A = this chain, B = another copy of it.
């Protein structure tokens, strides 16, 4: 049998980060990454295939850096893993043996138990170039598109398909159906989700919130024709996209006899280690704790996956153990003209847990003076602090191109457990062409507003 030091199963965020981390820390190790696709799509880039990039192959993670580091890449299906002799059996390649194994098998789109979900032209968003191309081809024929699910994937797909439709000569329609009262509601403050909806409407998307899909109707030839809502409305639909979440891929782990939960994933500790001392798991397939609470988290994000891949790989060969801090949930998106970022708790989630929070909010132009190019006058930051400790537990941003990095200032503050007082009195870089004025740098000012309330 062919022996490898480290075998990584899975080639997306967690897998790539795991493979490169091992190789960087231990260049002498033989590292092999096995993936079930010939090319790996950029996971978060998938919506942009359909409007901006207009080609599946423009949204591929390049292999060149991995190959240059000496990482072997095998595109094949893993059939079984035998832990007894530490072997990986492949569909079309010879069996390999590992010293250490990292499972990074990712997740699969959740398919809701809806009548008609099996009809033709009903698609999930799977991270597979072949499948993504099928959606693209179908979209070019479709006239009435319905997207089910108004989270990040649903909203971004709607925005991009609306862009594509605007360029089509034919009569088209696009609708987004979301169960909750606003889009992006699990990650973002409600008013920020409303901003996203407004942008979608500007692009011609009919946004149906607080709306449940009851069934998909067919055209008599096995193809979707309508989406029926619980309130009796019926939307025309010759193409439906399901974007309602993902479930961990645990089949391989189960076959291997590792503990795994259908919703939470492969059981790992905070070192990303399974019960088998030579097997780790990372990314969407792995169980994760919440950063905030002593309970599991269902947050599945490429950024969490990347961190976990790095942690798992760092722990393979000791020298200082790395531990996952648990999933924080740090997000960013751009819908139309608005960029929205978030980290940690929403007000709604905090209220649901009975947390007493103090909110600081700042609205100011992201330029100073406001007449400078690129100014978004109502750039907004909203921060959530625990009343008992003053520690930041969430933050939300709506603004321009720097939104994601403003969310990252907040994400770092959350992970460093800083207080409103800390953030109010820290110094921040500002510049007329790039940020708010030093008098109204949003994060400082929002923290100061909260600190003033906390001092009362």
A contact residues vs B (CB 8 Å cutoff): 13, 16-17, 20-21, 24-25, 42, 44-45, 48, 52-53, 58-61, 301-307, 310-311, 319-320, 322-325, 327-334, 339, 341-343, 368-369, 371-374, 400-409, 411-413, 415-416, 418, 421-435, 437-439, 441, 443-444, 448-449, 452, 455
User: 4 smallest A-B Cβ distances: which pairs?
Assistant: A405-B405, A330-B429, A404-B434, A332-B431
Identity of the chain B residue whose Cβ is nearest the Cβ of A401 in the assembled complex: B401
| B434–A332 CB distance below 8 A | yes
CB distance from A424 to the nearest CB of B (A): 7
**Contacts A/B (CB < 8 Å), 16 sampled:** A17-B439, A61-B437, A306-B439, A306-B444, A325-B426, A330-B429, A332-B435, A333-B431, A401-B402, A404-B429, A404-B431, A405-B408, A411-B426, A412-B423, A412-B428, A413-B416
CB distance from A332 to the nearest CB of B (A): 4
Further pairs besides A13-B439, A53-B371: 13, Cβ < 8 Å: A24-B452, A45-B368, A45-B369, A302-B437, A303-B429, A310-B424, A320-B455, A324-B425, A341-B429, A403-B434, A404-B430, A412-B413, A413-B416
Q: Which residues of B contact A333 (CB under 8 A)?
A: 431
| A372–B48 CB distance below 8 A | yes
| A408–B434 CB distance below 8 A | no
Which residue of A342, A368, A374 has the most chain B CB atoms within 10 A of its CB atom?
Answer: A368
| B58–A431 CB distance below 8 A | no
Identity of the chain B residue whose Cβ is nearest the Cβ of A435 in the assembled complex: B404
CB distance from A386 to the nearest CB of B (A): 17
Q: Which residues of B contact A374 (CB under 8 A)?
A: 401
| A369–B411 CB distance below 8 A | no
Question: What is the bound-complex CA distance between A331 and B429, given in angstroms?
Answer: 5
| B42–A369 CB distance below 8 A | yes
CB distance from A120 to the nearest CB of B (A): 29
CB distance from A41 to the nearest CB of B (A): 9
| B408–A428 CB distance below 8 A | yes
